[in-house]
A and B are shown apart, each in its own frame.
Chain A
Amino acid sequence: MGYVAIKGGGRAIAGAEAAVEALRCAEGEQGTPLSLSAIEQQLRLLTSRVVSEGGLYHPRLAALAIKQMQGDTLEAAFALRAYRSTKPRLMDLPVQDTRRMRLIRRISSAFKDIPGGQMLGPTTDYALRLMRLDLANESAEDFRAVSRRFLDGVGDADLPDTFPKVVDALREEGLLPPLTRRAHAAFDITRDPLVFPVPRSAALATMARAETGSLLAIAYSNMRGYGDVHPTIAELRVGYVPVMLPHPVTGEPIEAGEVLMTECEVVAMYEGDTTEGPLTFTLGYGACFGHNEVKAISMAILDRALQKGMRDGPANPSEDPEFVLLHVDGVDSMGFTSHYKMPHYVTFQSDMDRLRTTQDKATTAQPQPEGAQA
């Protein structure tokens, strides 16, 4: 019996689930199910994006989420986050040193020669965006040959274990302010809500797991003129950071694993006055899980913009901590956007009541047109 239109919700949900699953497997007999390692390796930038926005470094689980969500990055990151909610936090991580990152790529747009040298690594920055039609029907043999050729040409790794940071050199020259070690621990956004004003570490953590596109859009607004960061990339590096944890018995730091990360430091023009010490350039910092350069650069620019906003008060959206930090989370923004698809019968009934009442009042209040008088 049809009570209201929404009756039968349980059956409808089950049906929707089956339809989604059917589309995933729509290739039928001709189809090959995606393997998780194929997603993790061949769609490595997609996987990167999902571990970063999901705030959980687990590429294999991210690959599963991508498969399950049929390539939707927002949904895949969301699934990782929800999985994370079931896990307790076991310890505070000591500060990790990205100087020890095992680099796959490192550039500076500030200096031609940087200590340790520039290393272009895997980038498509200078590739022509022409369609490579040969990939359309790539055979397994072609696929393996690429890997074989590349590995044949590579000698034994003679890379040093650590690379000095470009910003360290700038600091030594007095072009950047000296590092001051903060006594208090970093803000943990997974255990404390943002209550404004928030410390810089809260802003950095929020942006590190922000949705790439949202971060990019707000950073771009700053670059275009709603702000004035004018950044120079002092250093952008991509590589594997060894994760050092204290040994449970001895307390000595041991390497527990490694995480692929992208890190970016931008230097911006000096500002302020000379009463607070010598003038220096200012620094913006960005870092995220996985290989995602646009995200790390956007974050670094916004970090610099937010520092200005926190100090002088925001002059535009990208300098306003509330505006930036409360609107860049993909799980929040995507969820709330989707929720408008849910029934809103009651509130709409209430809206209609207000409109009808106001309409009635407006009609009665209007003076009758002269011709209408009998």
Chain B
Amino acid sequence: MNPGYELPLDEAGYSFGFLDEYAKREVRRTILKAISIPGYQTPYASREMPMGRGFGTGGLQVTLSLIGEGDTLKVIDQGADDSVNAVNLRHFVELTCPGVDTTERTAEATLIQSRHRIPETPLTEQQVLVLQVPYPDPLVVVEPSEARRKVMHGEGDYSRLLTKLYEDIVQFDEITISHRYPTRINGHYVIDPSPIPRYDVPQLHQNRALVLLGAGREKKIYAVPPYTRAEPLAFDDVPFRTEDFGDEHGQRRACKRCGATDSFLDELIDDDGHKHWQCSDSDYCNSRLTAQSATSAQGATAQEVNA
């Protein structure tokens, strides 16, 4: 062996955004192509990141390539800012991107990286939403070969996917796809919108923000540009349906914490075995609570004045 090896200890400090500049430029070019062809899975040479494949390395490469000084980043996982993986990713960005602010407030963020959820608060034209993607191709359920799937996408041939939905209806009287619901973008490419629940899919339609989807392991980036059509696959007589949060009486369940009846709910079982429901989006829930306490405080002040 070469005895003269020295460890590159002087290189311990990483460059801004961890990736080398060539890599970031490549990701940005890929993003531009993805925006130009809405829904097209643009291949790129995804780099290995210092966290596991499947932990958001695709989303992270998009985020690190776009982020700059003056940006404010929000990272969520399962809707929560304090989920272990969100904490980990946020910490990594704070470590490698000095000058970048992080926030838990959806409204304050310029860049939002998320796994499995789109925030409840409507996004704005000034925001970019980056979704982490495990499986970029909706056709994978009907065709294992990537080469053949590429041809099917090019020809807009989604007949086997539609047949799968039809067979579901025949067998179960219901489309059984729960999340990762195939969604047609701008009238052509059908995408896997990442494992967001069906509840979030309508949010993609004509969204004001740019939505970028990054798959690190599968080495693809695709986009739903602002104000673009996003239509979940369905039939004229069997409409697309989101998750049902009705109770046994058909009443919409409310968040136990903030009382919201217009949010995606997590089902929790407490120590006594009782089920209850809470907002999955922690910022949405907290913001509502803050607003409520402000109103009740105001109310209290008003009463004192009246007295």
Contact = CB atoms under 8 A, between A and B. Distances in A.
A322 B53 contact: no
B82 A86 contact: no
A357 B197 contact: no
Contact of A335 (B6, B54, B78): B54
Contact of B85 (A196, A336, A342, A352): A342
A194 B218 CA distance: 9
A9 B87 contact: yes
How large, as a class, is the contact surface on chain B?
A: 35 or more
Contacts of A87: 20
Contact of A346 (B134, B150, B264): B264
Nearest to A85: B47
A193 interface: yes
A201 interface: no
Given A89-B22, A353-B178, A60 B5 contact: yes
Interface stretch (B38-46, B122-130, B204-212, B232-240): B38-46
B83 A81 contact: no
A346 B179 contact: yes
B244 A353 contact: yes
A82 interface: yes
B215 to A, nearest CB: 11
A6 B80 contact: yes
26 contacts: A3-B285, A4-B266, A6-B84, A13-B87, A36-B7, A40-B1, A41-B1, A58-B5, A61-B8, A64-B7, A78-B52, A82-B49, A84-B48, A85-B23, A88-B22, A193-B44, A193-B45, A197-B147, A258-B2, A331-B53, A336-B217, A342-B77, A349-B267, A352-B267, A354-B176, A361-B174
Interface of A: 3-10, 12-13, 36, 40-41, 44, 58-61, 64, 78-79, 81-82, 84-89, 189-197, 257-258, 260, 322, 326, 331-332, 334-340, 342-347, 349-354, 357-358, 361-362, 365
Interface of B: 1-2, 5-8, 14-15, 18-23, 26, 43-50, 52-55, 57, 77-80, 82-88, 91, 116-117, 134, 144-147, 150, 172-174, 176-180, 195-199, 217, 219-220, 243-244, 257, 264-268, 278, 280, 282, 285
